[in-house]
Amino acid sequence: MKQNIGYQFHTETKYLREPYSAGAFERLRNQETIKRRPLDRTVALPPPDRKNGFPLYAVLNARRSVREFEDRPVSLEALSQILWAAYGVSFRAGDFLFRTAPSAGALYPVEVYVAARSVEKLNPGLYHFAPASHSLRQRYEGDLSPLLAEAALDQDFLAEASFNLILTAVFERTTWKYGARCFRYIYLDAGHIVQNAALAAVSLGLGSCPVAAFFDDEVNALVGVNPARESAIYLLAVGWPRND
Ligand SMILES: Cc1cc2nc3c(=O)[nH]c(=O)nc-3n(C[C@H](O)[C@H](O)[C@H](O)COP(=O)(O)O)c2cc1C
pLDDT at 210: 99
In a domain, 68, yes or no: yes
Each residue's pLDDT tens digit, 204-229: 999 999 999 999 999 999 999 999 99
What pLDDT was estimated at residue 40?
84
pLDDT at 136 over 60: yes
In degrees and rounded to multiples of 5, residue 69 shows phi and psi of -120, 150
Helix (H, G, I), strand (E, B) or coil at 64: coil
Query: How far is the C-alpha of 67 from the C-alpha of 235, rounded, in Å?
Result: 13
Residue 177 in contact with ligand 1 by CB distance below 6 A:
no
Q: Tell me, what's the pLDDT at 30?
A: 56
Q: How many CA atoms lie within 13 A of 189 on its CB side?
A: 27
CA distance 124 to 162: 10
Nearest-CA residue for ligand 1 atom 25 is 65
Does residue 244 lie in a domain region?
no
The DSSP code sequence of 158-182 is HHHSSEEEEEEEETHHHHHHHGGGH
| pLDDT for position 86 | 98
Establish whether residue 211 lines the binding site of ligand 1, counting it when its CB lies within 6 angstroms of any ligand atom: yes
Range of the domain at 124: 5-239
As a whole number, mean pLDDT of residues 167-191 equals 96
Mean pLDDT for 142-166 is 95
For 83-92, the pLDDT digits (tens) are: 999 999 999 9
To test the pocket of ligand 1, the residue of 211, 215, 233 to mutate (highest count of ligand atoms within 8 Å of its CB) is 211
Q: Give every CB contact of residue 88 below 8 A, 6+ residues apart in sequence.
A: 48, 99, 100, 131, 134
Measuring CA to CA, how many Å separate 119 from each of 75, 110, 116, 168, 222? 6, 23, 6, 22, 19
Lowest-confidence segment of 12-16, 68-72, 110-114, 134-138 by average pLDDT: 12-16
| DSSP strand pairing (96-99 vs 41-44) | unpaired
Q: Which helix (H) or strand (E) holds 6?
A: helix 5-12
CA distance 109 to 192: 13
Spatial contact of 185 and 178, defined as CB atoms under 8 Å apart: yes
Indicate which residue's Cα is closest to atom 21 of ligand 1.
Answer: 65
Res 196 pLDDT > 60: yes
Ligand 1 site, residue 65, Cβ cutoff 6 A: yes
Output the CA 197–ligand 1 centroid distance in Å: 14
CATH code for the domain in which residue 192 is found: 3.40.109.10
d(CA 218, CA 225): 10
Does 188 reside within a domain? Answer: yes
Distance between CA atoms of residues 180 and 178, nearest Å: 6
Q: 25 pLDDT band (50/70/90 cuts)?
A: low
Counting ligand 1 atoms within 8 A of each CB, the residue from 65, 156, 215 with the most, and so the one to mutate, is 65
* Ligand 1 center–CA 211 separation, angstroms: 6
Instruction: Tell whether the model's pLDDT for residue 111 goes beyond 90.
Output: yes
pLDDT at 27 over 80: no
Which residue's CA is minimally distant from atom 30 of ligand 1?
A: 210
Residue 20: the pLDDT is 47
Atom of ligand 1 nearest to the CA of 194: 31
In a domain, 191, yes or no: yes
Q: How confident is the model at residue 28 (pLDDT cuts 50, 70, 90)?
A: low
pTM tops 0.85, yes or no? yes
Closest Cα to atom 23, ligand 1: which residue?
65
Q: What is the pLDDT of residue 62?
A: 98
Q: pLDDT category, 16, cuts 50, 70, 90? A: confident
d(CA 189, CA 83): 15
CA distances from 150 to 27, 219, 242 (A): 12, 10, 22
Which ligand 1 atom is at minimum distance from the Cα of 64? 26
DSSP assignment string, 72-122: -PBPHHHHHHHHHHHH-EEEEETTEEEESS--GGG---EEEEEEESSBTTB
Instruction: Tell me whether residue 180 is in a domain.
Output: yes
In the prediction, which pLDDT does 38 show? 75
Structural domain count, the chain = 1
C-alpha 91 – ligand 1 centre gap (Å) = 30
On whether residue 154 sits in a domain, the answer given is yes
Contact call for residues 108 and 123 (beta carbons, < 8 A): no
Q: Where are the alpha helices (DSSP H) in 118-239?
A: 145-151, 157-160, 172-178, 182-203, 216-223
Ligand 1 atom showing the smallest separation from residue 66 Cα: 26
Residue 23: CB atoms within 10 A of its CB come to 10
Task: Please report whether residue 184 resides in a domain.
Answer: yes
What pLDDT was estimated at residue 9? 92
pLDDT at 23 over 90: no
94 Cα to the center of ligand 1, angstroms:
38
What's the gap in Å between 37 CA and the centre of ligand 1? 33
